[in-house]
Amino acid sequence: MNPKRIIKSHINFISLIVCTLIIVVNFSISLNAKESNLPPLKVHPLPITLQQWKGETQDNYFKEIQPHLAGYLIWSHFPIKVYIQTPDDNLSPAGLTQFQQWQKAVRISIESWNPYLPLIEIEKSDKADILIYRRHPQIKAQINPETGLYNLPRAKAATTTVKFYLTQTPPKQLRHTMSIEVNPHQTFDYLVTNITHELGHALGIWGHSLNTNDVMYHSHSQEIPAISPQDINTLKKIYQQPTRLGWVRPV
């Protein structure tokens, strides 16, 4: 394939929200082991912010949400702690301004979810539930063995990755962290929508809406939506589902 063509198709996709959801299994937890080793599936109390949400309709896209062996990817300790990447000391003044614009976009996105699930920004990454990084999501080109040509994956604006762990001190609880990587090379409005969309995944909306009016639609190329009532109806329904997260593992 002509290399120029590869580069062009990459650039055409760069302003779309094309995101990837990744599940990392920590082998020390062995989520594939017998289910009896895992905390039981139970429902947490519905957070008060979601109890108070009354949508005009019940429309939602809950059937698009993928449950995991760990159950629905629900937070049960509030406020949810969010770490936002900080700039390196060696950035140029222009680079620093761009970085600060990115941080501003992240804070606007956090504020837009805050009425529905309480979030708080913290400075230490090792204490965070959700970590947000300003860097290119990994794009790996692979050679197609049949044609000998490169298969170029669709360029990604962002990825959200979930990892599981057990709390150190007994009784050991199954918990999770979410890491978001956001391609910084987008206009400010796209960045805000892109990060708002990824935060939706990190809050538990592990799937995509089929409706272009929702912020959790899988791809936006022209119109930039805000969080919709269907997004919140879906979030509320997810938080009424069973999960193993936040519950104690049997001894």
Give residues in contact with Zn ion (CB under 5 A): 19
Quote the least distance from Cβ 41 to Zn ion, whole Å: 25
Residue number, 161 or 173, with CB nearest to Zn ion: 161
Residue number, 17 or 29, with CB nearest to Zn ion: 17
Q: Which residues contact 8 (CB under 8 A, 6 or more apart)?
A: none
Quote the least distance from Cβ 19 to Zn ion, whole Å: 4
CB-closest chain residue to Zn ion = 19
Could you tell me the CA-to-CA distances from 62 to 98, 155, 202, 208, 229 in Å, in that order? 37, 27, 16, 9, 13
Residue number, 174 or 205, with CB nearest to Zn ion: 205
Q: Determine the straight-line distance between the first and last CA of the chain, rounded to whole angstroms.
A: 57
Residue number, 70 or 195, with CB nearest to Zn ion: 195
Could you tell me the CA-to-CA distances from 154 to 7, 9, 12, 193 in Å, in that order? 11, 8, 10, 19
Q: How far apart are CA 99 and CA 133, in angstroms?
A: 11
Residue number, 19 or 174, with CB nearest to Zn ion: 19
Quote the least distance from Cβ 71 to Zn ion, whole Å: 20
Quote the least distance from Cβ 198 to Zn ion, whole Å: 7
Residue number, 196 or 243, with CB nearest to Zn ion: 196
Quote the least distance from Cβ 180 to Zn ion, whole Å: 10
Quote the least distance from Cβ 208 to Zn ion, whole Å: 5
Any idea which residue has 């044609």 for tokens? 147
Q: How far apart are CA 69 and CA 73, in angstroms?
A: 10
Candidates 117, 201, 214; CA nearest to 159 is 201
Q: How far apart are CA 142 and CA 153, in angstroms?
A: 8
